[in-house]
């Protein structure tokens, strides 16, 4: 819903940096979330942006540009355990939440 677009799959090397992009429809925007989901498990909250700019939490950072309808999740010092799907979720007016289809990240040794 709401044209939330993410790349389907990405591959990166252990120790490297990877950026996962997300674009979304801007009308009615109320906040953007990033979740990590390992296969067969529940999504785990990573970060939240409601204002423009960068939010940093350890190895994970998330950036938001509301005017461009664009966000990215930056993962530094990649570890094998970071192999998972990364879901971009957007809250719109009237408490509507929509998830993107997710980006499957493969971390290789």
Q: How far apart are CA 95 and CA 6, in angstroms?
A: 22
Task: Between 60 and 99, name the residue whose CB sits nearer to other proteins.
Answer: 99
The answer to whether residue 7 forms part of the interface with other proteins (CB under 8 A) is no
Q: Indicate whether 33 belongs to the interface with other proteins (CB under 8 A).
A: yes
Q: Which two tokens stand for residue 80?
A: 């094998």
Q: For strand 44-49 and strand 60-65, is the pairing parallel, antiparallel, or unpaired?
A: unpaired
44 binds other proteins (CB under 8 A): yes
98 counts as binding other proteins under rule CB under 8 A: yes
For Cα atoms 74, 52, 57, give the angle at the middle one, nearest 5 degrees: 40
Applying CB under 8 A, the residues found at the interface with other proteins are: 30-31, 33, 35, 41-45, 48, 50, 87, 91, 94-102
């Amino acid at each position: 819903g709401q044209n939330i677009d993410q790349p389907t799959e990405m591959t990166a090397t252990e120790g490297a940096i990877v950026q996962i992009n997300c674009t979304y429809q801007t009308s009615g925007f109320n906040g953007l979330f990033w979740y990590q989901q390992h296969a067969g498990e529940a999504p785990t909250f990573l970060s939240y942006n409601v204002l423009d700019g960068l939010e940093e939490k350890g190895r994970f950072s998330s950036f938001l540009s509301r005017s461009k309808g664009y966000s990215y999740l930056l993962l530094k010092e990649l570890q094998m355990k970071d192999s998972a799907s990364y879901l971009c979720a957007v809250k719109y007016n009237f408490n509507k939440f929509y998830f993107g289809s997710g980006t499957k990240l493969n971390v290789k040794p």
